[in-house]
Amino acid sequence: MIPRLPRLLFTHTLYNGIGCAAGVLLVALIGYLLGGHPLAAVLSSGAMVVSITDTPSPEGHKLRQLLPALVGSTAISLIVGASHGNTALLAGEITLVGFVAGLLSAWGRLLLALGFSLVLATVFAMAFPLPPGVSVFAHGLAFAVGGLAYIIWATALARLLAVRTRVQVLADALASFARYLRLKAAFYDPSAALDTIYERLITEHALLAEKLQAARDFCFHRIRPGARAHQAQVLYALLDAYEHALASQTDRELLRARFGETAPMRAMGRCVADHAADIETVADALLREREIPALPDRQTSCAETHAAVLALTADPLANPADARAAALLRGLAAKLFHSLQRARNVIDVARHAVTTATLPQEDALRAFTSQRKVRLAALRPHFDLASPVLRYALRLAAAMLAGFLVARSLPYAAHGHWILLTIAVVLRPSFSQTRQRHNDRILGNLIGCVIAGALLHTVSSPALLLVFLFISVAFAHAFVTVQYRVTSVAACVMGLLQLHLLSPGASFVLTERIVDTVIGALLALGFAFVLPAWERRSLPLLMKRLRETAARHAAAALDPDTPPLTYRLARKQLQDALAAVSQATARMLDEPGSRRLPLPPLHGAVTAAYLLAAQLASVRFLLQQRAADLDKGRRDALLNQARIALEDALAGRRPDDVMPEPAMVGTDLASASALDPHELLDRRLAAAADDARRLAGFTATS
């Protein structure tokens, strides 16, 4: 389903799509004015191929992002253009392009688009018959000029929209945090199944981690006084609010069982939902470049709810277990309302209503941004047949060669390059992505072919076709990470219109394009079973990484002297590892049943890691809030004992090898106390050790 368009119109994805389309159209128009239709077609081809790699990126990264596409695609245009008529040479070149495009997946999302741009350059070079008297070198030079002109446009546009893009990415992170809080509010509704809430919350947590990382990459880069510094401060406040929200994620099962039907528990849920709505309002205002409206004062309702909780737990309870449960509820309320104050602080910082604390140095914050340098050393581990990257490269190369040979055997072989394009789009590194792309590509191409066919039969003016090309490029870029089926439709229209502009004399037969699409999609799906990289191969390593990052996070969390940024970095690494396991598990569910690992250990490990992070955040909160009440010697003894226990648990040093039950935290009340912070700390540390043992047990059985 297409997302709500009004909000989409203000997002950085649509801005990027319109910017890409405008750049391609501008290059085409300049070419048309200087040399007519032939020059416009070649220049726009170079611009379009380079634009494939033009995704939103922090200011200053645009040149290194686009230049490899220009160099690689120009070289391919020259080589393939010189090989027309030599089937064997073309077959070898196509195979090599497929192999290189597959190897680029070693750098993940950073270079995946570059791989497709190389394939698109190959397709355009195959489809374009050189006019009489035009040399391959002249054609390649014009292609490169078009790509270079686009780079100049994209770099200038990125500078112009740098601050605006930061705001859009920040608003995206705020909206994701609001959704996360809204899901947390369901914990206070006893009619909602706890396991379902955790499942949804962990999924949203992975999405939130992705949005926060994108915001870090933009807002912690080139911080300058003024608007940029303010955006960085809002993000820093958001990260702080997220940390405190995570700390209030404990003892849910027990408290719901004892107090779930009470009015104060439901009121706490409403307080969380209200703050989620307020942050969503701020995100929407930032996105639409509007002034943040006056928001309701939530302090009164929160104070009344907190007072109701204290009144509920103040009643004399004969059962000691009830008294301890009451103490836990008071502790939860204190953490919850403190976390809501931090959430409110995000709003105040965004509205310039408070004086913000000084940000850490940009050099220190740089450790939290994504690595964007491309080092050839990243390929070294993948020259092994067990490597998913090498397997994908060989698989893609073989599929491209097969597609080329099949295309040459068809009666309309002159248009067989559409099969290659379909294979490159559909065949992804994972089986799950290939399967989804297969369905989206077939349906999208069916719709796209009909639209393109209608345009080519009713519109004869090249200038008017360029307008429709502009629209298709914009939609193809804008929806690529939002709704791929829309991108598939737009990309199909874009490709067919561009191929027509390159070779206007060629006929367009709707059934042929549909047959090409089906053949390409079926070949891609078939080759997904050749040297497959099933998720069951990667999940054990991901689970090991999850356990190791959990151990580092625990060591940082349990050391009171750990600098805040060091602790935050360890927590971020755990979040990344947790998201990687969650995403791999989701991909595995699309694979054949015989290729899957058992689900209970995977879900159990993800839940245990998530709860361990919540327990450790709660420990940090307790150490900060009750610092004056804690005896340093006793505190350090408890922390050292817990550090050893967690280290042993996460290292797999267990007294038995029995896989633990996937129990929720908070079921043991024996050590809880309403008064003594040392006993509260001891209980929280014991709960963290239990989660660590569960995590180690689940990862050992995966």
Q: Is residue 383 part of a domain?
A: no
Q: Are residues 190 and 339 in the same domain?
A: yes
What integer pLDDT is reported at residue 251 of this predicted model?
Answer: 60
Contact 11, 288 (CB under 8 A): no
Residues 6+ apart with CB under 8 A from 208: 173, 176, 177, 179, 180, 242
E strands, 530-644, where?
none
Q: Are residues 521 and 411 in the same domain?
A: yes
Q: Are residues 147 and 291 in the same domain?
A: no
Domain residue limits at 447: 5-160+398-527
Q: Is residue 26 part of a domain?
A: yes
Q: Are residues 575 and 694 in the same domain?
A: yes
Helix-helix angle 677-700:632-650, to 10 degrees: 10
For residue 293, report the phi and psi dihedrals to the nearest 5 degrees.
-70, 165
Count how many domains the chain has. 3
Q: Is residue 375 part of a domain?
A: no
Alpha carbon distances (Å) from 435 to 388, 422, 439? 17, 13, 7
- What stretches of 82-193 show up as alpha helix (H) in DSSP? 87-103, 109-127, 136-160, 162-185
Q: What is the pLDDT of residues 143-167, one digit of tens each?
A: 999 999 999 999 999 999 999 999 9
Q: Are residues 131 and 213 in the same domain?
A: no
Domain boundary among 527, 558, 579: 527
Q: Is residue 21 part of a domain?
A: yes
Q: Which two tokens stand for residue 693?
A: 């043992």
Q: Are residues 617 and 579 in the same domain?
A: yes
Evaluate if pTM is beyond 0.85. no
Q: Is residue 36 part of a domain?
A: yes
511-538 average pLDDT score: 86
Query: What is the rounded distance in angstroms from the CA atom of residue 241 to the CA atom of residue 534?
Result: 38
Q: Is residue 489 part of a domain?
A: yes
Q: Are residues 512 and 609 in the same domain?
A: no
- What stretches of 479-557 show up as alpha helix (H) in DSSP? 484-502, 510-527, 535-557
Q: Are residues 498 and 572 in the same domain?
A: no
Q: Is residue 521 part of a domain?
A: yes
Q: Are residues 496 and 549 in the same domain?
A: no
Closest among 170, 57, 171 to 113, alpha carbons compared = 57
Q: Residue 447 pLDDT > 70, yes or no?
A: yes
Contact 702, 604 (CB under 8 A): no
Amino acid symbol at 171? A
Query: What is the rounded distance in angstroms from the CA atom of residue 582 to the CA atom of residue 489?
Result: 29
Q: What is the pLDDT of residues 366-386, one digit of tens each?
A: 888 887 787 888 888 888 888
Q: Are residues 32 and 111 in the same domain?
A: yes
Q: Are residues 31 and 152 in the same domain?
A: yes
Q: What is the pLDDT of residues 566-617, one digit of tens each?
A: 988 998 899 889 888 888 888 888 888 888 888 788 888 888 888 888 888 8
Q: Where is 619: in which H helix or E strand?
A: helix 599-625
Helix-helix angle 564-588:535-557, to 10 degrees: 160
Q: What is the CATH number of the domain that holds 306?
A: 1.20.58
What integer pLDDT is reported at residue 196 of this predicted model?
Answer: 81
Q: What is the pLDDT of residues 260-295, one digit of tens each?
A: 778 888 888 899 999 999 999 999 999 998 999 988
Q: Is residue 606 part of a domain?
A: yes
Q: Which residue has the higher pLDDT, 38 or 178?
A: 178
Q: Which two tokens stand for residue 682?
A: 């001891």
Q: What is the pLDDT of residues 667-683, one digit of tens each?
A: 333 333 345 788 888 88
Contact 238, 311 (CB under 8 A): no
What integer pLDDT is reported at residue 336 of this predicted model?
Answer: 82
Q: Are residues 690 and 546 in the same domain?
A: yes
Q: Which residue has the higher pLDDT, 425 or 399?
A: 399
